[in-house]
Amino acid sequence: MTDTWARPAEQRPERAAARPEAPARAVTAATWAGALGTTLTACGGGGGGQPAADKSPRLPAGCAGMSAAAAVNEPGCAGEVAPFEAMTPDRAARLLAQGGLGATPDEVDAVVRDGADVWFDAQVALPVQDSVWDWARARGLDNRLYARGDYGLDHALWWRLCTARDVLRQRVVLALSEIFVVSPLNMVAYWKQFACLAWWELLERHCFGSFRALLGAITLSPAMGVYLSMRGSARADGQGRQPDENYARELMQLFSIGLTTLQLDGTPSRPQTETYDGTLVSELARVFTGWDVDGFNPLDPEGPFDYLRAPMDFHADRHDDGAKRLIDGSVIPAGTPGPVALARALDAVCAHPNVGPFIARQLIQRLVCSNPSPDYVRRVARVFNAAGPGGERGNLAQVVRAVLSDPEARPTLDHAAPVAPASLADGKLREPMLRLLQWLRLASVRSTDGQWRFPDVSGSDAMGQAPLRAPSVFNFFRPGHVPVQTGMARRGLVAPEFQITNESSVMGYANFLLAVLPFGGNGIEPDYRRWMALADTPDDLVAQLVRYLSGGTLRPETVTTIRDAVASIAVSSDTERRNRVVAAFFLIMTCPQYLVQR
């Protein structure tokens, strides 16, 4: 057990909001980019030698008989989602890494047996399990001693992620939490942990609903209101006070449309134009005046905090009721009630043609790959733009299905072909917290005291990332990040997750695994019995872990190297069998071919 795992979060010094790049030395980000980056290219192909049939997209039923090129431009195909491909165990494991919380034997067996379409529908239909807010209160995390910090946030979120059955919902919530960012860092509030737990529950409620409903809930969330300072924003008073523009700006820049106009496939329009200007930000900020939490008692700030769970209330006396111009060019007339003005403004933002491709691309990046092809983005954006049963665009359940079932999501891998880095055309760097989560679920971890006393693992001495602990509203990394002086940069490709990859985070990750894989810590223990039963046959042990951790994406020569290393450990006792299991996990989880999700 290490200090990193065991030390309570509140005992650690605050970290800067941004982590500077480390100088290049023994193991640098550029070194890793050289090893991994050639795989992180435009989504849509596998390794060299892939059969031509595997490159042909599966067209929606309504487009049968059409060529792929014709289907892309056929309005009748809009909104129809391709079925998932037939599932092998490896493909099922890859799907569960993209749309779940990592693969386990039982989950893989179910997906192979029933098919991915059945799995997806069942996951969407699952109700949200026990409230994460109520779980935290039941464990005493509402003690006044914790009112001025965020202690307990990690406990509650890792409990949720380690024990959840609705793995698709939780994976989508994680993805959305990196697009619509709220974090206790830089949040000026009491009970930050409960503000963030309320935020998590908000995303759970809306992640399979309409985008418009999600954006409305986000706008009136106390957590967002505090984080981006919309809470308490009031009309200009003629003495220097102006409406706060923070949320209005980020709503457009980060949450909906971006800075410049886009085509349906996510590429810049020609001519390229800005989507909004400073004047429009100011106009929208006036719409958002007059909203505040209801129930906060400044005379007892450490007291009741249920107000963090309810939408903000409207205060007409603080609202700017003058005329306001919206992004679609329309004008909200003077005297329009504040809630009506807010609804009209959000409707106008959601109707902008950028929203479909903007959200489609980011969801693909978070779930599947870093550089989706224009055709991939276009297909998902069409689904976003299609009217649902109620005539509303942005059915997020259908959009997520389109992302995960697309023919480019899991290209066929040809391990028999020679390695040809320039031809590799899929993948993304696995996020550190998702790697840890794979181990936690595959090792059937449990909390011996039911408290799930996880520390904050977002420091560079641990995982470098943790749920809801982004250092700024721009997330842990930006969707357009390009690692400098790499093959990816030379090819004009992005690799967002490399923004938190440097020599410190690489070595911190490896050292953290070495510390926690054997026995966990803080009462959080792995159960290796399933894997120890395979330890006498290293071929089986390594093959099984390679399947569930990577979906069979490691090349045969890499698997052989790992197997030989595991086999070199003697097995005359259960202690040595555990050592084999730990070694197999560690060698796979630090191998470059695993670190790239394909």
pLDDT tens readout for residues 169-196: 999 999 999 999 999 998 999 999 999 9
Computed over every residue of the chain, the mean pLDDT equals: 89
Beta-bridge mates of residue 429: 596
In the prediction, which pLDDT does 417 show?
77
Give the lowest-confidence range in 4-8, 286-290, 308-312, 506-510.
4-8
Query: What per-residue confidence (pLDDT) applies to 14?
Result: 36
Residue 53: per-residue pLDDT: 39
HSE at residue 444, side-chain half, CA atoms within 13 A, is 9
SS3 label, residue 119 = helix
* HSE-up of residue 53 (Cα within 13 Å, Cβ side): 0
The whole-number pLDDT of residue 47 equals: 40
Tell me the Cα Rg of the chain: 24
Maximum Cα–Cα distance for the chain, whole Å? 82
The structure's pTM equals 0.90
Q: To the nearest 10°, report the CA torsion of 81, 83, 89, 90.
A: -50
Out of 2-11, 233-242, 320-329, 397-406, pick the least confident. 2-11
Residue 440's pLDDT is what?
Answer: 98
**Tens digit of pLDDT for each residue in 498-538?**
999 999 999 999 999 999 999 999 999 999 999 999 999 99
* Whole-number pLDDT of residue 30: 42
Q: Which carries the bigger pLDDT value, residue 149 or residue 13?
A: 149
3 state SS of 565? helix
Flag whether pLDDT at 425 surpasses 70: no
CA distance 214 to 359: 13
How large is the average pLDDT for residues 452-457?
A: 97
The answer to whether 441 and 165 have CB atoms below 8 angstroms apart is: no
Of the pLDDT bands very low, low, confident and very high (cuts 50, 70, 90), residue 424 is low
Q: Are 546 and 559 in contact (CB under 8 A)?
A: yes
Q: What percentage of the chain carries pLDDT values higher than 70?
A: 86
User: pLDDT tens-digit profile of 6-59?
Assistant: 433 333 333 333 333 333 333 334 434 444 444 454 454 444 333 333 444 554
The angle subtended at Cα 527 by Cα 544 and Cα 7, nearest 5°, is 120
Q: How confident is the model at residue 285 (pLDDT cuts 50, 70, 90)?
A: very high
- In DSSP terms, 596 is beta-bridged to 429
Per-residue model confidence (pLDDT) at position 29: 40
Q: Confidence band (pLDDT; 50, 70, 90) for 418?
A: confident
pLDDT of residue 18: 37
* Range in 77-91, 93-107, 398-412, 570-584 the model is least confident about: 77-91
In this structure, are strands 596-597 and 331-332 parallel, antiparallel, or unpaired? unpaired
pLDDT for 8 equals 37
pLDDT at 415: 82
